[in-house]
Chain A
Amino acid sequence: MEFVRLINWGTPQAHDVVKRTHPTQIPMAPSTLLLTQELPSLDYLATPARFDGTWEAPLSTLLGLGRAAGADFVEFFLERVNYISCLAEDDLITSISPSLTTGAGIRVFRGKADCYVSTNDLTFQGLKTALEKALSILGLTLPAPTAFIPEVCLELLRDYAKAKDKALWLPECSSIEEMGEILLATTASLAQAASHVQSRRAAFFRDWQEVLVASSDGTFARDIRLTQSVSCNVLCADGEHRTSNGLRDGDTSDPDFLRNWNYQKATAEVAESAGQMLYADYVESGTYPIVMANHFGGVIFHEACGHLLETTQIERATTPFMEMKGQKIAHENLTAWDEGRSDDAFGTLDMDDEGMPTQRTLLIENGILKNFLSDRAGQMRTGHPRTGSGRRQNYTYAAASRMRNTYIAPGDCSVEEIFASIDKGIYCKKMGGGSVGPTGEFNFGVDEAYLIENGKVTKPLKGAILIGEAKDIMHKISMCSNDLSLAPGFCGSISGGIYVTVGQPHIKVDSITVGGR
């Protein structure tokens, strides 16, 4: 028996145009008529160019198949990426790298265990094969040949891309030519601004991603994300004195980002840092009070607390905060947020990668732990409610509870008051990366630091790494100024590398171990 489902390309309401016949003509709603034995000859044509309503019918059927086989929950994540990066070295564009990706990830839960299968094949057969693989791995078998496969009825397509005219974004972004011009202007500006220059670089990427999520609880949502970032970097050397300094800016949802980027401001800042750091001494190791600058200084909270409030850490029992909701875990002057809603910030998104609208999650209020960051599996396994935090790098990863824009809220001190409170300490002006391990011990590097003596910033210092225990340090963040600033960052963890924002006002940490020489 030939049995083909054909759906017109680009027709928004897929169920209106489904043409199907059934030899027995049972007077039931057509959506309940599919039998297991009809599956091998079943086919669909959803538009390959765009995730739209034409995907509803095939996904409804496949979700129904998963449920009929005994899965407790099934989710399809479809993704299409159009990425390009561009690199300028000294006065040449040396690399333009476009990359096109299409893929799907299918997640199946049986009880609390789950299986995730990914594939590049987005045809109906390709998706079905991947689903069947996931089902069989979990020990689930397809129902008997004559069994019904009731399709899963999905919500009306919740299309953030359409609602916010995101289709216009990609064509409005900078062309390759424009990327080249701006990056070369940037490296030229670095040559003018800095001295003892050995090499100059400017790099840009544009990541355009279209996603579609359909799951057996009826979720059916589409979004387009546009993330762009530009960075510049200079290596200066004078004899044995060397310093490498850089800066990164980035945002989401703004096609004009690169053309409006103030490269002169960026290169001036990098040149100034390089000038300060070229002859800087290495920091003397010890335990000091420190002031952490606003902006990327927020890496301290990201590592020392943010990660430990993800439900994936509760699942593994690798966070000291797992039983402490409602209790005091930080200094009473500390309030912290994680949210996906700030305008155009690097970690902003309308919905997470499980189709839930991102939320504004209050993590800590005046030192009291209020909420964890939770995804679907986190809610299932730990009981903490979902917060729109299910994120992943791409279709090869199952979503996990991850941060979005994470920051310490402004306090009532002035920056001057913070410095004035320190006799001898370190001012951490520009942070490198950081990490946190399964015992709650965290670290982060400082690219640009200064000695604080009697409340004043004195000589530049380099080569510091700061280490501490999450549980201790949160009680030592005792002063926050009122100059909150957010900075773009990349966060790598179990569901891959994602775009996030870290942020804070200037803060004081009463004491921390500074590793040096």
Chain B
Amino acid sequence: MVQIQDLAQYTADIAQKLGVHKYDVYGANTDSTSVQVDHGEPKQVKASNRSSVIVRVWNDNGTMGVTSTTDVDPVGIELALKTAQDASIFGVKEHIPDFSPESTAPLPEVTANRAEPTPVTDLITSLVKAEQELLGAHPAIHSVPYNGLSQQEIERFYLNSAGALRSEARTYASVYLYSKTEEEGKKPRSAGSFRMSPGLGSLAIADCIAEAREKTISHLNYQKIPSGKYRVVFSGEAFLGLLGAFSNLFNAQSVLDKQSLSTPESIGVAIASPLLSLADDALHPDNVSAETFDGEGTPTRRVPLIENGILTSFIHSTGTAKRMNAQPTGHANIGAKVSVSPHFYHVFPGQPSETHYSLDEAENVLLIDDLSALHAGVSALQGSFSLPFDGWLVNKGEKISVDSATIAGDFRDLLKAIIYVESEPELTPGGVCPRIWVDDVSVTGES
């Protein structure tokens, strides 16, 4: 593990020796342990202790080059600075990335609960017990083929030649259980659950078991459904999955690169039903992995993206903010080209609904729990999607699992076809989002 103060010192010394006057460094130390089990026995334990940094060097002509490396000792840093210096000759001449004007601004206060690492044997024991409970939950559950329990400590840091030096450390624990059924004359069915927390002590393993069990059993009785247009209810996780796949809508770098469904003129335009509001909020209290600064050292913050259906802001790096006359929002990742990415979505109701819907009363609606193949079935620049899913046909609260079907459509049309945003948020690793109701979604089942 590299000590950040030491790294800052020897990087400064080496830079001086090499005649490098302007540089910055972003990096992380990671210490992690994870376990998997198979029918009561430990299967694989993984542990790692790693460091990595990316350095940016500006030469005297002002152009910039980068290098990333896992060798963070003085020899490795020297090679990285030299390589970055060499690459800087070929750096861009327009819109050259620069330090964030906020790289030394005060960071937001967050309460990060850091947990002490748990011995590996305790991780194994906890997971074996969870697996056992799930196997005993129903005679059809034959295996938990994908399972894992892990703990991790991450320390992130940013420093630059103008005196910025900031770091933060977090601990996480996470568990996933994915069980599979076998029944005579039926297809195998499967479902799973995931939970995350700052440490093993606060990890909701019992909830994870209960959810995996309930979902897996709910898919035992399945049927094909006819193709057609359906009223669809997306779970928080499914909606966030789709939103994430089309995140170019909010990404200032994508907009500037013309790799987005939005243009600079899209701000202020109604892109969704007025029932929908959305923010990106790294500092949301439910975000276990809350980061207080981005790759450029800019403090993170809550950024409203959609208010009552209107697109209100993009997420920015220092460079995109400068080009679009906005403020950096703390969403940058440094590289030869600075990229921009979201932290943690918060979806919530916009304008109050006139009509309230409930799964207990609705007839013939499709509840989509999880979307698959987002990497294959989404055309992010066309706006279209065509995706397999796990879900149920719901009739007055009674659920029957849907066998091999897909949904398809245009994401921009879907945002406008929202008829209801429920109030109860669902917590997922990538954000919080309630169930979202959408009308007239094309579903392919049986013709």
Chain A residues at the B interface, C-beta cutoff of 8 Å: 87, 89, 92-103, 112-121, 130, 133-134, 137-139, 176-177, 180, 198-199, 235, 242-244, 282, 285-287, 315-318, 396, 398, 432-435, 437-441, 443-445, 447, 462-465, 467-469, 513-517
Contacts and interface: CB of A to CB of B under 8 A. Distances in A.
A113 B337 CA distance: 43
A87 B336 CA distance: 10
Contact of B67 (A100, A139, A396, A516): A100
Given A119-B49, A285-B408, A515-B406, A445 B69 contact: no
Contacts of B146: 316, 438
14 contacts: A102-B71, A112-B43, A118-B50, A120-B50, A120-B71, A177-B90, A438-B145, A438-B180, A439-B189, A440-B188, A443-B388, A447-B379, A513-B406, A515-B444
Interface stretch (B291-299, B356-364, B369-377, B431-439): B369-377
A114 B335 contact: no
Interface string B380-410: 1111101110000000000000001111110
Interface in B344-362: none
A462 B381 CA distance: 13
Interface string B58-88: 0000000111111110001001100110110
A243 B381 CA distance: 7
A467 B388 contact: yes
Interface in B9-55: 33, 38, 41-52
A434 B388 CA distance: 11
Given A396-B48, A398-B46, A463-B408, A435 B376 contact: yes
B178 interface: yes
B187 interface: yes
B46 to A, nearest CB: 5
Interface residues of B, number: 75
Contact of A469 (B46, B404, B405, B444): B404
Contacts of A465: 373, 376-377, 386-388, 406, 408
Chain A facing B: main interface SS: strand
A176 B388 contact: no
B408 A438 contact: no
B227 A441 contact: no
B70 A100 contact: yes
A175 to B, nearest CB: 10
Contact of B91 (A87, A96, A447): A96
B184 interface: no
Contacts of A97: 66-68, 335-336
Given A113-B44, A244-B381, A444-B376, A439 B258 contact: no
Given A316-B38, A447-B379, A516-B442, 9 more contacts: A92-B92, A92-B94, A94-B337, A113-B43, A120-B52, A244-B380, A443-B377, A465-B406, A516-B444
A441 B143 CA distance: 17
B321 interface: no
Contacts of A447: 379
Contact of A133 (B47, B70, B80): B47
A130 B227 CA distance: 55
A516 B386 contact: yes
Contacts of A180: 90
Interface string B399-425: 000001111110000000000000000
A117 B180 contact: no
Contact of A98 (B52, B83, B404): B83
A103 B51 CA distance: 10
Given A443-B388, A516-B444, A99 B375 contact: no
Contacts of B68: 97-100
A10 to B, nearest CB: 18
A137 B49 CA distance: 14
Nearest to A126: B49
A119 B50 contact: yes
B372 A443 contact: yes
Given A235-B258, A318-B145, A463-B408, A134 B90 contact: no
B154 interface: no
Contact of A117 (B47, B442, B447): B47
Contacts of B381: 235, 242, 244
B38 A315 contact: yes
Interface string B322-356: 00000000000001110000000000000000000
A96 B90 contact: yes
B388 A433 contact: no
A101 B409 contact: no
A199 B146 CA distance: 41
Contacts of B87: 96, 98, 176
A102 B373 CA distance: 33
A353 B128 CA distance: 30
B18 to A, nearest CB: 16
Given A199-B259, A469-B404, A243 B92 contact: no
B142 interface: yes
Given A101-B70, A434-B373, A465-B376, A244 B382 contact: yes
A285 B258 contact: no
A103 B50 contact: yes
Chain A CB within 10 Å, residue with most, of B72, B405, B444: B444
A517 B50 contact: no
A396 B32 CA distance: 11
B257 A199 contact: yes
Contacts of B79: 100
The 8 A-B residue pairs whose C-beta atoms are closest, nearest first, are A515-B406, A285-B444, A433-B376, A316-B145, A445-B376, A95-B337, A95-B336, A465-B386
A103 B70 CA distance: 8
A92 B63 CA distance: 14
A117 B46 CA distance: 6
Contacts of B257: 89, 199
A119 B384 CA distance: 42
A116 B45 CA distance: 6
B54 to A, nearest CB: 8
B242 interface: no
A287 B224 CA distance: 13
Given A176-B87, A445-B377, A437 B372 contact: yes
Contacts of A515: 377, 386-388, 405-408, 444
A437 B41 CA distance: 24
A121 B375 CA distance: 35
Chain B CB within 10 Å, residue with most, of A315, A439, A441, A515: A515
